[in-house]
Structure 1
């Protein structure tokens, strides 16, 4: 069993934190499920950009499921987790983060083709190719993080305390008596692989900006379709980099509560920001969601009116 970082709160504060956190988690679920249902049910939204948005929402639900349910239990019970549970939780959260990056890279490529090669867009981004892209956006992160986690299994540990609200492979790695070379090699490979993602995204935006400078129409298209991606990419990159830098170079003198918040900000902010940004910014999605809300409002009014007449 591992022990995890403590929550320095009274019972009343824990209850308030539970209420606030579960409300936040419900907003994440409602926002992401709404976009998923809207994209799946509307055939007009079966386009690459909306498919990738739907994929991003599915991944947000997957990643947050690795943290929030366990956190709700930990608020009112001893903060311990089994070795197997720790490995599973770390795998889910790590793989979700990597999936996010892969999907954001695909979205950057989709925008690059749409803006820089508009005439060949439909021949490049076919349904078959999009399906393959989505498949590999999950397969590669899940496989790479499985290799990372597998190289830690069975290693001798010289400690059992994880100073974090949830398990991460780096914390388990630091508890090993002798660091496994295989894990070091896989970790560096993963970092290089996703550094390649970052270079690819920068490259696509350089070419898009160069192309859009030549045309006002293209610049308007760039702002309309790329702004949501830039906001989500910026939010994701900032929160993940902040977490990575803190986990490796953070000071031991800061308060435990701040330490806990720094650990979970990447699980709180991007999963809620993504559906809000895309839901409000992309015209077709916004129109579909507003239409659904109008229909439900009308149905509620009709039901209340018919109920009143019956009375």
Structure 2
């Protein structure tokens, strides 16, 4: 018995300009991978940076960005040049696992980074006693362990469902799109989804509380305000971009589908996979002076400015 195959309908409007779409998509994927890996390489090559918890956590965020982008772009690039946009049931489950474990890892990573900034600004004298290399390693293992477990359980619950349809109105597989096609009861999926949402909303609340303390501590001194602008503002920017991207996708998936909106639907559906991974290294690279200076040095810009 052959494996069931899904048909993806999200790219039906791209056939006339498929090569142009392919070129833009390839450029975005390349820029995402190269910019994130550049940050990782810069931190890894500089001993003074890789020993600092903040930069280790930043590298983890960049690695997750590459992971998330790679769960989305390769299949999209293939489909942009293909006449038929199909994916096997197993391939769909693998893509769902990759996309959602990326989301879960991103949320937990941002919560851990907020905790790191809280300790650095509110408890500066205890920072190196609390954020030891061992503690950072444990937090990273916890982040990935939670994300991969959450993704695996979700895929297991969705993969067991008998389906009444094989047509997905997006350009990639999503858990919600597959669950909607189920012919059986999806109560377990709904309960699990509610638990996941509750858990990650609690992480957002933790971030909000942390930044309430951080802002209160920062306004007391010029040094605190400087540290907030240099190290907390990039984190807040990343958090806002990622949260809004997820919100747009969730709202549009449930309330914005309709004829004549496929291009907009594609943009909204892919935003959380395209924008945050591309923006993160740019935001941190522009705001973290030590990374920015090393990028400029690698490009030879510092030398040009010095000679001028």
Shared fold (TM-score, shorter chain, > 0.5): yes
Tell me the equivalent position of 1:67.
72
Is 1:222 the counterpart of 2:267? The answer is: no
Runs of 5+ consecutive residues of structure 1 not aligned to the other structure = 299-311
CA distance in 2, matches of 1:54, 1:48: 10
Q: Which has the larger radius of gyration?
A: 1
TM-score, normalization: structure 1? 0.92
CA distance in 1, matches of 2:259, 2:171: 17
Number of paired residues? 297
The runs of at least 4 consecutive aligned structure 1 residues that moved more than 4 Å come to 295-298
Tell me the equivalent position of 1:200.
206
> SS at 2:14's partner residue?
coil
In 2, are the aligned partners of 1:90 and 1:168 still within 8 Å (CA)?
A: yes
Residue 249 of structure 1 and its aligned partner are, at CA, apart by 2.1
Tell me the equivalent position of 2:119.
113
Residue 295 of structure 1 and its aligned partner are, at CA, apart by 9.7
- 1:189-219 alpha-carbon deviations (Å, 9 max, x no partner): 1111101111100000111111122222212
- Counterparts of 1:126-145 in structure 2, within 5 Å, are 126-145=132-151
Residue 157 of structure 1 and its aligned partner are, at CA, apart by 0.5
Tell me the equivalent position of 1:304.
none
Tell me the equivalent position of 2:19.
15
Residue 51 of structure 1 and its aligned partner are, at CA, apart by 0.6
Is 1:290 the counterpart of 2:296? The answer is: yes
After superposition, the Cα gap between the structure-2 partners of 1:79 and 1:205, relative to the gap in structure 1 and judged at 3 Å, is same
1:175 is matched with which residue: 181, 198, 212?
181
TM-score, normalization: structure 2? 0.93
Is 1:190 the counterpart of 2:196? The answer is: yes
Residue 141 of structure 1 and its aligned partner are, at CA, apart by 1.1
- Counterparts of 1:19-58 in structure 2, within 5 Å, are 19-46=23-50, 47-58=52-63
> SS at 1:245's partner residue?
helix
Residue 253 of structure 1 and its aligned partner are, at CA, apart by 4.1
CA distance in 2, matches of 1:112, 1:99: 20
- 1:259-288 alpha-carbon deviations (Å, 9 max, x no partner): 111111111111110001111210111122
